[in-house]
Each structure stands twice: as structure tokens, then as C-alpha cells.
Amino acid sequence: MNLVSQITKTMLHGAAEMVVAGHRCVCDPSGAMYLEDDRILVVSDLHFEKGSSFARRGMMLPPYDTATTLAALGRVIARYNPASVISLGDSFHDGEAAARLPAQYAAQLGSLMAGREWVWITGNHDPDHPAELPGETFTELAFGNLIFRHEPSKRPCPGEIAGHLHPAAKVVRRGQAVQRRCFVSDRSRMIMPAFGAYTGGMNILGRPFHGLFDAQAIIAYMLGSKRVYPMTAKALYI
């Protein structure tokens, strides 16, 4: 399959499909990725309770980030009705965030988890299983040709689906720059955008991404309000 047919294939809900290590991956504008053939939904870097984590240190960020993230998660789960959900690490902003989760949100999360398999991959912010919550916890998980882990490996790693870096892409036109969170892939591996309401982005041309992808084959799916926008290397700015 060549680059063109991948780029042009925009799907329902403004999502786009691309093949990574032989698996068909649907990149949803919400920032979630859906493995249609296996009914697996993947989200990364939810950073639940980031607001209260800052409040502990004296920065009273609006306490509505978890609600916003949960609502977005709820919408994408309703859209695809996945059999399994993988949360790719940094699901909670700190080690105590799961315990701090207000009861109403815990219940809301519980109802999203009900009736499906749920996998927590550990991340640097949440190295342990989230307190009191169901689901299984792994440091990494292999599935078919794919391997799910939080931090992308420094060396080429075919089939790796990772998060952690909060990728974002920037394009410029008529003197105006637009930066958005994005999926980034070279068809061998993929790094997913951060899903959480308070998670920003890091430019994929920046140093942390150096050497992770085949520079010629890189595609960034930038998240728009209703669809994703595929961009190739030549359109990207730092």
C-alpha cells in the first residue's frame, strides 16, 4: 500500500486509517486510535487529576480536567463500542491521583469500563496499578505484530505503539502558524497524541523525536475539531 491511498482514505467521523506493521489503525480526531479488526481502542496520556495535582502545589487550576477528559473518552467509546481498551500509560498524573479521584468520576470511569476488557499500561507518572480500580496492569503488552508500551524505545522498533512524548505538529501558511496534537508514524511504529484535557504537545521535529522515525516516510495526523489532517514532512515546521 502506498502513501497516497493512506492519506486520501478519510473515514467516517473524520478519522483516517493507516497501516502500522500490518495492522489497520484508525486515527480518530479525538486522539484515540482504534484497531478495527480486533475491536481494540487505544488512548494515551490521559493524565487524570492533573488539575488537583497542581492544586496540591498551590496552583489552583480549574478542577474540571478529569470531567472533560472523561467526557471525551465516553464519546469515543460510544462511537466505536470497543471490546477492549488500552490506556497507554500516564493515565493518572501522579501516584496518588487515582486515590484522589472524586467518587462521581470514579463511578463514571467504572461505567465506561464495564462490559469490556481494560488494560492499564504503566507510565512514568503512574508506575503502579491505579488504586481500587478494576482492569489489568502491564508495563508492556504484545498483540499480533504490535507492542504497546508507554515510552517509545530509542532504537527502531517495528510494531511499537507508544505515547509519553505528547507529539504535536506545526504547519505555517500566510504567516500564520497552527500547532495541533498529532499521531505520528512512519508505518513501522506510531506515537500517539496525549488525550488528557490539560496535556499540551511537543513538536515532532524537536530533539526528543530524533531518530525515532524514517524521516522520509513520516506522516503526522493533526487533530482538528472535526477531522484529522494528514501532513507529510515537507509541510512541517519547528
Residues of this chain, 156-215, that bind another protein according to CB under 8 A: 170-178, 180, 197-200, 206-207
- Residue with smaller CB distance to another protein, 57 or 154: 57
Binding mask 128-157 for another protein (x = CB under 8 A): ------------------------------
- Residue 83 binds another protein, judged by CB under 8 A: no
Q: Which of 19, 60, 107, 215 binds another protein (CB under 8 A)?
A: 60
Shortest spacing between CB 137 and another protein, in angstroms: 26
- Residue 7 binds another protein, judged by CB under 8 A: yes
Piece of 19-27, 54-62, 121-129, 152-160 that binds another protein (CB under 8 A): 54-62
Q: Which of 38, 54, 84, 99 binds another protein (CB under 8 A)?
A: 54
**Which of these, 177, 145, 141, 178, lies nearest to 162 by C-alpha position?**
141
The grid cell for 226 is 472535526
Footprint of another protein (CB under 8 A): 2-4, 7-8, 50, 52, 54-65, 67-68, 102, 170-178, 180, 197-200, 206-207, 222, 224-226, 229-232, 234-235, 237-238
